[in-house]
Structure formats: structure tokens, C-alpha cells
Amino acid sequence: MSELLLELFSEEIPSRMQNKARQDLTRLVTAGLKEAGLHFGEVQSFATPRRLTLLIKDVPAKSSDVREERKGPRVDAPERALEGFLRSTGLTIEECEIHDDKKGQFYMAVIDREGRSAELIIAEVVTNVVRNFPWPKSMRWGAGKLKWVRPLHSILCVLGGKSVKFQVDGIKSDNKTSGHRFLGGKPFKVKNFKDYSETLLKRHVVLEGEDRAAIILRDAKAVAKKGRFTLVDDAGLLSEAAGLVEWPVVLMGSFDKEFLDVPSEVLISTLKSHQKCFSLKKGKNLVNRFILVSNLEADDDGAEIIAGNERVIRARLSDAKFFWDNDLARPLEDLLPKLDEIVFHAKLGTVGARVTRLEGLSSHVAKHIGADQSLAAKAAKFAKADLVSETVYEAPDMQGIAGRYLALAEGMESEVALAIEDHYKPQGPTDDVPSAPVSIAVALAEKLDILTGFWVIDEKPTGSKDPFALRRAALGVIRIVLENELRLPLREMFQAARKDFAQSAALTDDLLSFFADRLKVHLRDLGVRHDLIDAVFSLGGQDDLLMIVKRVEALRNFLETEDGANVLAGVKRAENILSIEEKKDKAKYTGKPDEALFQLAQERVLHKAIEKASKAVTKHISNEEFEDAMGEIAKLRQPIDRFFEDVIVNDEDGAQRVNRLKLLSAIREVSLSVAQFGKIEG
């Protein structure tokens, strides 16, 4: 068994593409080797700005010998059928065997294929992978036809210490590679991965991306600590910075203090987006320092590199301050007319029209959750104003944030300013949800307006496609409601958002079903079974998310008890019998059973237990005491068990049969007060 080492060495690969490229290389090469019958052991892959590397262990010298048996036509089949079979196998009629089965004799082609050398298979697979690599963007260079993300310089391919020979568009494979662009010296030969990785490290290349990220984080914190600062954490920037360098060198620069007048989020965004630099704080305040990551150990300890970055950052921050000062000079009210010029969606009107709807809907939501209606409407009015500000035009990720600072600068209420920033939240599963009442009202209105709007124009998510992020909007509503423990009737909210929902029960039911699916996803991530959600949603009329979850939690706790599991079995047995008999008789056995027809004590006991439980459950449900309601259902365990042990439901006496089926119907009815047990698995 040998070790295969493959490296594709090129000009700088964009950081955002490296991880997927590494995964694609692994997937494509390993799939090609398996398809060719070459089995192998452990696989590792690596990516730096200039190289994609693949290590495959325990590669055999050749693929396995293969014997293939291919059944052919019958011996008396037409001549054309036989000719086609022989062409496909490459055999003559004399080389085929004749086998017997129940229907007679037929030809069998037995094809023995000798295993091929690993070198030959690897050469074919790698050549094909390089020629057809799925870069999101690629280029041609020189006179060649090969496409790669950046010009591909060399291919290192070593198996068991020996070079595997092939060429792709004039690029010949060999056992050589290069180290760092500036610090690596001359190209060097490679025997195996250990030799490769150790020599690269000596030539100033850290091969593993996670190692580069760890070095950057460690050194950045050390440099910050030396200046008595703290690093502004940014996992995304850390990953990107690790993809920009092969030999990370952390340096600290500075910018003029006058730029600190610009909101800190704008400064952080500018440093990150334009120069991939980390920001620094002292306490809670941003300082006029930044951390940059160089790919070079300079003789002057990085002084010239720092100076160059400071010049660029000074220009970028000057632009940011210019835009911000211009925005401060205009009241938000003056920006509102421009929103009428921005089309939100061809069928849903302008952003200005959205703002008008959001004002009314935010006030309506605020009334339900106990927030200040006038402040909610005011926050909704100005929530989108910063979309036409110069700051957001230059830095779109500042929408909401810029609006908050501008609102505060105008002297607006702090609740209004906070709601302007928070109304987009949560924007992902890890994002915080708004917690201030006015912010909650506007954030819910924002998402409800989007959902109802796209439902009206029938632009719903399909399969994996969700171009308008409607799943995220629904999940946002769910998280805001649950994490703030809000009582929000969704049906009424839909109707308040769009008059179409007031006129169409089908639209409402369909959107509620969409929420049910999103709620299942959300609760499943928290470890809750989806069938329990179905059991509660199936009761109908369920549009209070908080109460649905409380019911589901009570049901889950109930079913985890021995009584709960047994009652579930009894109720499902009753429902199954009823379903069969009602279908057979084409009738519904509803209504109270006749006590005068009871012949056995078990019938009387069960009937009294159901009546008692029904009254208690109704009371507890009306008081939203779901755990207590489940406790009353649990009391039915013994009466149900004894009934099924001693009573024949399908009695020969027709009147007795109907009466006992009505008793089962009573079990079904009382259980439906808490959940549809038939939806529960197990």
C-alpha cells in the first residue's frame, strides 16, 4: 500500500472559494478512484491561497481483477439481437457460454478484466478532475484552453515516493513544488506527505487553514493585549484572513482619532470589508487602532506594510466620514419620499408603500403585546429611511444600524431608534431576537408583511428554493414569539396585514400550515418530536404559537410517563376500531351512549370516568393548565385497560355494538381536547 500526494499549485485562490474547492477536490478524485476499482484508506485535504492539496493513504498498486457475468439473449433469439450482445461485450459467439434456466438455454458472457495499475488510474482521474473542476468562476490564460480559478502553474503527483506522469494542457506533473511566494526559496522535490508538510513549514507555508487561523487569533490577541486593547471578535473575518496568507504575520496600525466620530459599526465594517483588518476596543469603546494580517516577514518589522495599510484605511475612513456627515445633515423625514422611487417587488409596490403598511401593522401588533402603539408606528415610519442614506449605499450591512444612530442624533426616543435597528432581527438562527416591546412590534410587522404579501401573489418557497427568504421570516416570527413568551393570534395578524386574508380562509390555512412546518423544524432542533406538533396542530384553530408549544411540552411530558404511554395505546386502539367500523358501516358513532344498555361494570366505570375527565379537562384547557389536563386524561388508563380486557365491542347484539362504539367515540372526543392521539407515532 502506498501514499498518494496531489498538489495543484496556482496563483492566489480567493479565500471564499478555498474550502469548497478543497471539498470538491476530495469528492471528485476519490469518486473517480472508486469508480475505477481502486480502493484506499484515510483521506485528508488542505487549501492555502496558492495550493489545493490531497493526501490519500493505503493506495494499492493496482485495482482488483474483475469478473463480470452478463446474461445475453436466448440461443434461438433473432440474429440481430445476438449481434448487438456480442458488440457490447467484445466477444465472439464461441467465447460465450451457454446456460440453462426454466425457460430454456441462453448465452452468458463471462468477461475477466485484469486490474489496472494505480499510476494509470490516478493519471486519468486527476487529468479529468483538473479539466472539469467546478470553480464558480474560472479563467483562461496564455494560449491554453484550460480553465482554472487563477493560472495553474504546476501539478505535484507522487505515489509511493515516485512521480505519477501525465500532463494537462501542457502542464506536466512531477514531484516538485514551491514554498512561500517571497520567503520560500527555490522549488523543491517531495517524497511523501511528511517530507512535503515539514519542508513547506521551513519554506514559510502553514498548510492547514485552521492552524493559520489559530496563529492569527493568538498573535492578534497578544498584540492587542500589549497595547491594553481587546480584539473585536469576528469568526468570519478570521476565516477569511486565514485564506489570504500562507505565513500569517500579525501587525498593528492606527488611524486618526477624528474618525472615531463615525459610528463604531461603520468603522468596523469599513476596516473589515476594504482591508480585511480587525478592530480593537478599550473597554466598550472602539480605539483608533487596527490589526492587519500580512503574508510577509519584512526586514523593517512591517513598518512599510503598516504605513501602506494606514494610507488606504485613511482614504476609506475619510469616505465613510464624508458620507456619514452628509447623512447627519439631513433629517430622516427628508429621506422618506425617496422610498417611493424604490420598487420592493413588481406585484407588491414600492418600499414607500411597505412603510405605510408597516406603520398600521406595527401599531396593531403593539396593541396585542402591550407595547406603545404611537412609538411602534413612528419606528415603522422611519425603519427603512436609512436605505437611501449615503452610508448604507456604500455599506449595505449598515442598514438599520445607521438608522438607529441617525434617529438618536435627531433626538428621537431611544425605543424608536432601537426598533429601527432591531426590526430586521433575527437574520439567522444564531442572531439575537428583539426584546424591547416597540422593537418586537416592528420586527413582527416586518416579517408578517413580507409573508402575507408573497402568499397573496403566490410566490411561496418551493423545494430548496426560497428567493425571498420566507422560511427565515417565519422562523423569525416563531423565535420572537417564543423567546419573548408572547400571545399572538396569527390568523388575526394575517388579516390585519392584508385584506386578502380576511376574505380567504384558504390563504390563512395555507400560511398557518407553513408556520407549522417551520415550527417543527425549530422544535426538532430543540429535541422535540415532530409528531407531537402534528398531534396538537391537527386539532384545528391553532394559531397561538406559544400555546401550541406549551401544549406540545405538556403532551411530551405526559407521554414520557407509564400512564401516558398506556393511555396513548388505549386511545389509539379505540380510534382504530372506530375508524374501521365507521368506514364499514358508512356511519359516525357520535353522541352519548345509553347508560341503560350497559351490561358490564367495566362499561359503567369507563363512562363515568370519561364524563368526569371531560369536565375537568375542559376546565383546565380553558385556564391553559395543560399539564393538569393531561393528568386528567391519565386517570382514564385503568378504566380503558379494563374495558378492552373484558368487553367485546363488536357484540352480536346490534344495539350493544352501537352503544359500545359510542363509548369508544367518547374516549376519542375527550382525548381530542388535548391532542389528536392518532397522529402520535408509537
Full 3-state SS string of 424-467: CCCCCCCCCCCCCHHHHHHHHHHHHHHHHHHHHCCCCCECCECC
Is position 43 within any domain? yes
Is residue 682 over pLDDT 70? Answer: no
Number of domains in the chain: 5
435-464 confidence digits (pLDDT tens)? 999 999 999 999 999 999 999 999 999 888
Q: Is residue 78 part of a domain?
A: yes
At 138, which CATH number? 3.30.70
Give 612 or 533, the one with higher predicted confidence: 612
**Ramachandran region, residue 447 (left: φ > 0; alpha: ψ -120 to 50; beta: rest):** alpha
pTM of the prediction?
0.81
Residue 182: what pLDDT? 93
Q: How far apart are CA 308 and CA 65, in angstroms?
A: 62
pLDDT value, residue 103: 80
Q: Is residue 248 scored above 80 in pLDDT?
A: yes
pLDDT at 152: 97
Residues 624 and 537 in one domain: no
| Residue 551 located in a structural domain | no
Distance of CA 387 to the CA centre of its chain: 27
Q: Tell me whether residue 394 is in a domain.
A: yes
Quick one: average pLDDT of 44-62? Answer: 96
- Let me know whether 578 and 514 are in one domain: no
Cα separation, 65 vs 372, in Å, equals 78
On whether residue 631 sits in a domain, the answer given is yes
Instruction: Report yes or no on 168 lying in a domain.
Output: yes
CB 647 within 8 A of CB 607: no
**Of residues 29 and 516, which shows the higher confidence score?**
29
Last residue of a domain, one of 155, 175, 202: 202
The residues, ordered by sequence, that sit 6+ positions from 304 with a Cβ below 8 Å of its Cβ are 298
Selection from 593, 590, 573 nearest residue 582 by Cα: 590
Please compute the mean of the pLDDT values over residues 312-336 and round it to a whole number: 97
573-614 pLDDT, tens digit each: 888 898 898 898 888 888 889 888 889 899 999 999 999 999
For the cut 90, the answer to whether the pLDDT of residue 111 exceeds it is no
Task: State yes or no: pLDDT of 113 exceeds 80.
Answer: no
Same domain, 394 and 512: yes
- State whether 386 and 508 are in the same domain: yes
220 lies in the same domain as 292: yes
Backbone angles phi, psi at 349, to 5 degrees: 85, -160
Rg (CA), the chain: 35
Q: Are residues 324 and 451 in the same domain?
A: no
Q: Structural domain of residue 531, as residue ranges?
A: 345-546
Residue type, 195: D
pLDDT tens by residue, 270-288:
999 999 999 999 999 999 9
Locate 557 and state its grid cell.
Answer: 411530558
Same structural domain, 533 and 439: yes
In a shared domain, residues 229 and 197: no
3-class secondary structure for 232-288?
A: CCCHHHHHHHHCCCCCCEEEEEECCHHHHHCCHHHHHHHHHHHHCCEEEEECCEEEE
Region 6-14 average pLDDT: 97
Share above pLDDT 70 across residues of the chain, in percent, rounded to a whole number: 100
Q: Are residues 189 and 224 in the same domain?
A: no
pLDDT digits (tens, 9 = 90+) for 498-523: 989 988 899 999 999 999 889 988 98
CATH number at residue 674: 1.10.730
Peptide bond into 426 cis (omega under 30): yes
pLDDT confidence bin for 42, thresholds 50/70/90: very high
Q: How much is the pLDDT for 373?
A: 97
- The rounded mean pLDDT for the chain is 93
Strands 278-282 and 285-294: antiparallel
CA distance 168 to 151: 13
User: Is 555 inside a domain boundary?
Assistant: no
Residues 293 and 389 in one domain: no
What pLDDT digit, counting tens, does each position of 620-677 carry?
988 989 889 988 988 888 998 998 888 888 888 888 899 899 999 999 888 888 888 8
Q: Which of 202, 222, 246 is the last residue of a domain?
A: 202
Q: Which residues pair with 562 in a beta bridge?
A: none
- What is the structure's pLDDT at 110? 84
Whether 13 shows a pLDDT value over 90: the answer reads yes
Asked, for residue 554, whether it belongs to a domain, the answer is: no
Q: Single out the residue in 202, 218, 240 at which a domain terminates.
A: 202
User: How does residue 526 score in pLDDT terms, banded at 50, 70 and 90?
Assistant: confident
653 and 542 within one domain: no
Distance CA 392, CA 64 (A): 62
Same domain for 441 and 315, yes or no, is no
Residue 362, domain CATH: 1.10.3210
